[in-house]
Amino acid sequence: MPRWIPDEPGEEAALLQALGFSSTDELFTDVPKRARIGRMGVGPGREEPEVVAEVDRLLARNRTMSQFSSFLGGRVTSRYAPAAVDALVSRSEFYTAYTPYQAEASQGMLRTLFEFQSLWVEMTGLDVANASLYDGATAAGEALLFCRRRHEGKRFLVPASLPWEERSVLENYASGPGLKVDLIPYDDRTGRLDLDFVRSAVGQKDVFGLLADVPNGFGHIDEGVPELKSILGDVPLVVVADPLSLSVLEAPGNYGADVVVGEGQGFGIAPSFGGPLLGLFACRKEDVRSAPGRIVGASVDADGRRAYVLTLTTREQHIRRSRATSNICTNDSLMALAFVVYASVVGPRGLARLQSSLAEKARTLASGLGGIDGVKAPRFDAPYLSDFTVEVARGTAEEFLDRLRRRKVLGGHPLKDPRPGASTEPERILVGVSESSTEKDLQKYIRAAGAAIGAVGRSA
C-alpha cells in the first residue's frame, strides 16, 4: 500500500484515544446495518513500481501519433507544446490549489487567470472573458443559454457543417429550457452558409441566437460570416473561433460577434485522448451579468495595492442557486495557465508565423491530394488554414483511412455522426497539418492516398 496516509507509530491509536474510541468501527455507527456493504471487489493494492509497470503495460497498447505521419485535425489539434508550458503547469503551487476563494492566499492563480482573460479579450475584440469553461463544445452550449437570456425566441441556428459532437452537445444544452437547434444549409461548392435561409428564419421572429464557426467544421473559412450581424440585428451572434487562426484573422468582435467561444487545447495542452481540454468564452461588457462561469477582477487591497479577486459572483451557483447563469463550479484554470503561457512563449508574431506556415503546408497537401483521381481536395472552394476537407469518390472514408494507416499515415477523421440511423453523409475526411508534418510526411500522404484510392477502385 502507498505511503500516502500518515502512519507514525501510535498515531491512529492516539487519535482514537482522544475520542474515547477503541476502533474506527465506532466512527460509523450512524450508517444503518442494512445500508452496509461487504467487499467492493476492487482487488489488492500495489506498490508504486507495480503500478507504474501496469499502467505502462496498458499504455504500450496505444500507438502514439509520433509512430505515424499524423494528419489528425479538428478542434483537438496535435500541435507542439513548448517544454516551458508543462514546466509551469507542473508547479504544484498552481496544480494542487483549489478555486481561489481566499483571494489573498491565491494571487498567483488569480493574476494568471486575469492575464488569460485579457489575452482572450485581445484576440476576440470583445470586452470580457471568463476564467474558462470545460471545452469548446460546452462553451458553445453555455453561449446558447447566454443568447436565450439576451433575446426571446425558441430556435438557435447553427451550420449544418458543425461537427456532430458539438451539435449533439448543443442539442442537450437546448433541451432543458425546451429550445430547438436548427441547421443552416450550406452551399455545396463553397460550404458557405445560406444567408437567405438565415434572413427568412430571423424574419420569423423566433430565433434567439446564431452560431457560426470560423474556420467551419470543414476547416474552411466562410466569407459570408461577416455579413451575418447585419441580418441578425439584435439577435446575438456567437462565433466559434480557433485561437491560432485569430493570429491572422480579423477579431470577430470587429464584425459583430456578441460572443466568441472556442477550444483552447491547441495552445500548449496535449491531446491526451481528448481531455482535459479548454473552453474559451468572451462577450461584451454590457452583457457581463448574463455570462457563465468564474470571472476575475482587479481591485485593490487594504493598503491600496492592486489585487485580484473572483468577482460578479452573484451570477453564480453558490449564491444564486437555481437562478444562476450556469452551474459552473470547477472550470479549467490550469489549462488557462497553459494557454496564456503558450501564447506568451510563442508570442504574437510567432503565432502568426506558425499559422502562416501551417497554411502553406495545408495548401501543398491539398493540391497534391487534389491531383489524385477519385480524391477531391480541398472539397470546398473556399480558403482554409490548418485543416481542410477531402472527399473520396470510391469506397468509404473509413476504408480509405484504413489503407492509409497500413502505410503509417493517420490521414484524418471521417466527418460522420457514428450513431446508427444518423443521417447519411458523404465520404468526407477532415485533414489537418501540424509542426510535425514535414515535406516528407506530406509527400508520403499524397503517395499513400494515390495507392489507397487505387486499391479501393480495384476491389470495387
* Binding to another protein in span 337-396, by CB under 8 A: 337, 340-341, 343-345, 347-349, 351-353, 355-356, 359, 363, 382-385
Query: How many beta carbons lie within 10 A of that of residue 190, not counting itself?
Result: 16
Return the H-helix or E-strand segment holding 440. Answer: helix 439-459
Joined together, the cell numbers standing for residue 428 give 468526407
- Pick the stretch among 95-103, 146-154, 195-203, 438-446 that binds another protein (CB under 8 A): 95-103
Task: Please name the residue that has the C-alpha cell 446508427.
Answer: 420
**Residue 64 makes contact with another protein by CB under 8 A:** yes
User: How many angstroms separate the CA atoms of 258 and 97, rounded?
Assistant: 33
Note whether 97 binds another protein by CB under 8 A: yes
217, burial (CB in 10 Å: exposed 0-12, middle 13-18, buried 19+)? buried
Contact 269, 339 (CB under 8 A): yes
Shortest Å, Cβ 372 to another protein: 21
Assess 242 for contact with another protein (CB under 8 A).
no
Per CB under 8 A, the segment of 92-100, 147-155, 198-206, 440-448 that binds another protein is 92-100
Least distance CB 150 / another protein (angstroms): 16
Encode 374-413: b = buried (16+ Cβ within 10 Å), e = exposed: bbbbbbbebbbbbbbbbbbebbebebbbebbeebebbbbb
Three-state DSSP at 227 gives: helix
Residue placing its CB nearer to another protein in the complex, 74 or 201 = 74
Residues 133-172 touching another protein, rule: CB under 8 A, are 134-138, 145, 165-166, 168-169, 171-172
- Pick between residue 90 and residue 204 the one whose CB is nearest to another protein: 90
Out of 153, 155, 311, 450, the only residue in the binding site for another protein (CB under 8 A) is 311
**Residue 459 found at the interface with another protein (CB under 8 A):** no
Per CB under 8 A, 103 contacts another protein: yes
Give the residue with the Cβ less far from another protein, 103 or 195: 103
| Residue 182 near another protein by CB under 8 A | no
Residue 9 touching another protein (CB under 8 A)? no
Query: Smallest distance, Å, CB 185 to another protein?
Result: 22
Nearest approach in angstroms of CB 48 to another protein is 5
Kindly tell me which of 334 and 365 has the beta carbon lying closer to another protein.
334
Of 225 and 231, which has the nearer Cβ to another protein? Answer: 225
The smaller minimum CB distance to another protein, of residues 276 and 374, is found at: 276
Under rule CB under 8 A, residue 197 binds another protein: no
Q: With the C-alpha atoms ordered 66, 70, 74, 79, is the resulting torsion angle positive or negative? A: positive
Whole-number Å distance between alpha carbons of 256 and 225 = 10
Query: Measured on CA atoms in the order 75, 78, 80, 81, is the torsion positive or negative?
Result: positive
Closest CA to 223 of 382, 387, 74, 362: 382
Following CA atoms 371, 374, 375, 378 in sequence, which dihedral angle do they give, to the nearest 10 degrees? Answer: 80
**Cβ closest to another protein, residue 9 vs residue 233:** 9
Give 112 or 201: the residue with its C-beta nearer to another protein: 112
Per CB under 8 A, does 424 bind another protein? no
Three-class secondary structure of residue 68 per DSSP: coil
Min dist CB 362 to another protein, Å, is: 10
Q: How far is CA 361 from CA 354, 365, 368, 388, 454, in A?
A: 11, 6, 11, 11, 24
We find the least distance from the C-beta atom of residue 232 to another protein, in angstroms, to be 17
State how far Cα 240 lies from the chain centre. 10
Residue 43 touching another protein (CB under 8 A): yes
Question: Binding to another protein by residue 226, rule CB under 8 A?
Answer: yes
Under rule CB under 8 A, which residues in 247-306 are in contact with another protein?
247-251, 255, 263, 270-277, 285, 288, 294-306
Among positions 190, 256, 402, 447, the unique one binding another protein when judged by CB under 8 A: 402
Choose the stretch contacting another protein; rule: CB under 8 A; options: 5-13, 187-195, 228-236, 389-397. Answer: 5-13
The alpha carbon of 180 is separated from its chain's Cα centroid by a whole number of angstroms, namely 23
Which grid cell sits at 123? 484576440
> Cα torsion at 357, 358, 363, 369 (round to 10°)?
140
Q: What are residue 391's phi and psi, to 5 degrees? A: -125, 135
Nearer to another protein, 121 or 198 (CB): 121
Nearer to another protein, 324 or 451 (CB): 324
Residues 104-133 binding another protein (CB under 8 A) are 104-109, 111-115, 117-119, 121-123, 127-129, 131-132
Among all chains, which residue has been given the C-alpha cell 420569423? 204
Least spacing, CB of residue 360 vs another protein, in Å: 9
Four-CA torsion 338, 344, 346, 348, nearest 10 degrees: 130
Largest Cα separation within the chain, whole Å, is 83
